Structure 1
């Protein structure tokens, strides 16, 4: 078959007006198709070009092989025009010539529990104690409540965008870099992709370190590096298995974490009314003495405000990347429109239930100036040793529970590390598919696992070993602190991407084809955007106070922003060279050029098929399970 026949056959197989070219001219070295508005050109220099009116865009993503084979390695239905460059989804071919894709191995219960369990980690069980100590009980509860209102719109808009085009399995269409590349800007997608990847990998390392620290609560006979190796090997093994194995592991991890936090909330309620062994009725005693706010920065009303603001910055670590974990598996779950929509709608309310009631419980059972808590934080005691839940329960005269809670904290760290490794590998694989990382990182095996990305991610997480030495532990903490700011930047990018997505949907008249919309938009996402911009700029405000000045803390607070800007602008310069200073350089796509059509018809057909096969539960038990999961 000639090159012309090869392409003609592919075009004939696609019933897309974009790829239905009417006139053809070709020779051995060159082939061209036209339909009046678009021109597809292919030549022996391995270049594809699409022209729209007077604009020309180039790409050279073809492998070195025969001309007849080059075009066959691309799915022409995935060629889309985005106003800045040609989008081409390259097919990864295995030895049999078939494409390996991410498998749809996750069902509704997996998605629901991954969404919820992935966000309940050491940030609540242990990290909330730091916020309590520095901000007081009112500062703790108020800050978590305010953060929830900021994260709520982020979850909503991610759900809207991913439900619209959840992907076909070639990459993780639910990843933020994928969304940014399609709706906002390629260079910003490049910067966002590496920002997210750094954040995910650092959190894998942080959770493995936390898990090893939890074990040290019981024994220090085994060296800390040995525990880190063990936890890394376990989560690596789970992520190298088919995605259904990962889903099952996260499902049961999440169940155990939810049962634990529910049990702690109930126990705190009992202690509130004096139901503990010492029958001491706590009530809101610690809100009165020593007080509702710690006023560690200054006194008075302004000091109370700063306590809440500092609590927002500290408490945000518990929420970082939570919404992203919900939508990231969209290409790997069955009936993604139904399941991602369901998870998105319920995520924030369940999260608020656990976090608000959880922090309120902490504020009831332990004071912010509790000497055991203060000493544990100063000495950096591992696991349950610095958990406010454990300290409050010990103060109530209950001795056996700390060990049980420590097991829950261990499972929590283990589960979160597992989820973050999954997320980091999918993010890296998506960047490889989009030519934002080495192409070899996008390889997928026959089980639907991006195995190269998993291997690279677990190797990079070995930065956790820095925490095994006193001389390097501060360096590790410095790296992990940067991940919180990376999360803020990610949410800023999500907000801007949604605003452009919404504009494009309205411009192309596609609003009636949105399968999921949320109330209050775009006003709520603008609120989140402004909030996270302010927090990102001022997150190190307390460091600027003369008595608190510390160079290391200042760098940790603000280094991420200039690095991100350098990556973004550097990628722009790489693409445009010195044209970056001219009008030819576009910093974002024009709204009329944003592609909200390519792939939609296939997704809608698949969604209709799932809808026709869906059986709505009729029994009371079935309806309850459907509501719960």
Structure 2
């Protein structure tokens, strides 16, 4: 069934038949007309898992986490990551429960917001995603050039920017199966690096480094498990905790941001998505919790929070808490190895961000929320116009060659400081509307490919907590002697931008729409039969255990 959302932009409260999916066919249409090429399902479950994981393991975990450690100390940092991990677990349940039911081609979180809530919310969220993911690409490219500076090469940074930009764009112009395989190995290298660092940290904890005694929790005693921040005394500890908690979601210090959404951006090009998306989500949750919580524990054990190099702006591995801790243990020679891994991480994250940005633009074009030219695909199913348009953001990386222009680039990045909070609030709202419509229409819960025992209550919890965090994320500027106009705008400018996008559509193209669709009018069927038929025609690959039993009965 070849249907779109093109008429949603200015429709009245929709009948079921008008709230349609982008479940397009790639073959000839029934009236004999040839359709334009569309994206193809070339991603396997393992590709989606590693693309999402690779996008969340970037320079922030290896380097930016040092700033969080310096703010709060190892105990506050660990508590913050555990709390955020719990929230990530809840929002994954919200997002995947919604997406796994109808993972049609062109599906994104913004698509589901359009389908289950309102065109205005989907429009605002789609364009916000496109910008946010797009601006993170030059951010990661710039981080890569700083990492390369660790080796002091006699080469202008613009050369490295050009090389990295060219490679990232070319990879995203290749068929999605090739892109997925490349990103799989990129991300695998990150995983291997983290596992190696965790093992080394474990050894240092129990046995110490060469000529050094067992370290244990020494740095939790000296300089201490928690720090004060900005203020002194109990107020300083409170500021430290809240600042550390918020830092656990901000770009540049961690990359929990957008972790769950990355899986959804893959589902439109994933093989057997109703089966593989839930599988990928479950594995992804386990891996991200193990790697992030494990890394935080390791960092807090091997590196003291008062280490000056954590916050002095040293390039690349020079300010990585892993490298600093390993050096303190008397182990030498790993700086360059870890720096190379950090470089690969930044490169890979930039690669994933272009993918997400281009798919957001492609999806909006399919739905009539962006110019139709962005639906153009190659015969291999690559939305090349959307990829090239999204890649244009990468040119902003050249601003960082000049220090004054670099300040301008920082403002571009600051526009999306609250993007993760806003995204997760919208995703939770979408999930609540989806689940409410599912119940109102009397559909059996057993039809859902993915469920969570915490739903729908965890979606309400996420809306409340992320709204609070969004509103207080810049609280530091209101403390004594801490006011800064630039910091204030950096913390809060993303909120009015999103509201302008939402109400700009609501008061123009969407002025005749309802604020949200009536539950009984939400379409929960269009595209479903096509997905089920596709799934039935694709045999499920036996598990490794089953294959072993068949081979050795």
Structure 2 length-normalised TM: 0.92
| Aligned-residue offset at 1:546 | 3.0
Corresponding residue for 1:346? Answer: 283
For residues 215 and 341 of structure 1, the distance between their equivalents in structure 2, rounded to whole angstroms, comes to 38
Cα distance change on mapping 1:483 and 1:92 into 2, 3 Å: farther
Query: Is the Cα contact below 8 Å between 2:417 and 2:494 reproduced in 1?
Result: no
Which of 48, 60, 68 lines up with 1:131 in the alignment?
68
| Preserved contact between residue 21 and residue 526 of structure 2 (Cα < 8 Å) | no
Unaligned 5+ segments in structure 1 are: 1-13, 20-46, 59-78, 624-629
Quote the residue 1:518 is aligned against.
452
Match of 1:248?
181
Deviation, structure 1 residue 186: 0.2
| Residue of structure 2 equivalent to 1:221 | 154
CA contact (8 A) 1:80 1:88 kept: no
Q: Give the 3-state SS of the residue equivalent to 2:408 in structure 1.
A: helix
Cα offset, 1:48, TM superposition: 8.0
Please give the secondary structure, in 1, of the residue aligned with 2:415. Answer: helix
The residue number in structure 1 matching 2:394 is: 461
Partner in structure 1 of residue 125 of structure 2: 192
Q: Whose RCO is larger (CA < 8 A, sep 6+)? A: 2
Whole-angstrom CA distance in 2 between matches of 1:118 and 1:293: 30
1:614 maps to which of 517, 541, 545: 541
CA–CA distance in structure 1, aligned partners of residues 240 and 289 of structure 2: 20
Assess if the C-alpha contact under 8 Å between 2:135 and 2:412 holds in 1: yes
User: How far apart, in 2, do the equivalents of 1:138 and 1:552 lie?
Assistant: 30
**TM-superposed deviation, 1:535:** 0.5
Matched with 2:489 is 555
Matches within 5 A, 1:9-408: 80-82=17-19, 97-167=34-104, 169=105, 171=106, 173=107, 175-316=108-249, 317=251, 318-373=255-310, 377-378=311-312, 380-408=313-341
Q: Compute the displacement of 1:315 (Å).
A: 1.7
Indicate if the aligned counterparts of 2:362 and 2:374 stay in contact, CA closer than 8 A.
yes
Distance 1:534 1:429 in 2: 32
Matched, 1:477 2:405: no
Q: CA deviation at 1:605?
A: 2.1
Instruction: Give the match for residue 472 of structure 2.
Output: 538
* Structure 2 residue matching 1:332: 3-state secondary structure: coil
CA distance in 1: counterparts of 2:399 and 2:210, whole angstroms: 42
**Structure 2: 5+ residue stretches without partners:** none
1:228, 1:309 → 2: CA distance?
36
Q: Which moved more, 1:148-157 or 1:301-310?
A: 301-310
Report the equivalent of 2:516: 588
Tell which structure's C-alpha radius of gyration is larger.
1
The separation in 2 between residues aligned to 1:326 and 1:567, in whole angstroms, is 25
Q: Is the 8 A contact 2:145 2:161 kept in 1?
A: yes
Number of residue-to-residue matches in the alignment: 538
Distance in 2 separating the partners of 1:232 and 1:544: 39
SS at match of 1:164: coil
Deviations 1:471-495 (A, max 9, x none): 1222222322332311210111000
Q: Distance in 2 between matches of 1:287 and 1:527?
A: 32
The change in CA–CA distance for 1:560 and 1:298 in structure 2 (over 3 A counts) is same
| Deviation digits for residues 337-388 of structure 1 (CA, Å, limit 9, x no counterpart) | 1211111112222111111110111111111111232xxx23x222111111
TM-score (norm 1): 0.81
What is the CA-CA distance between 1:90 and the residue it aligns to?
8.3
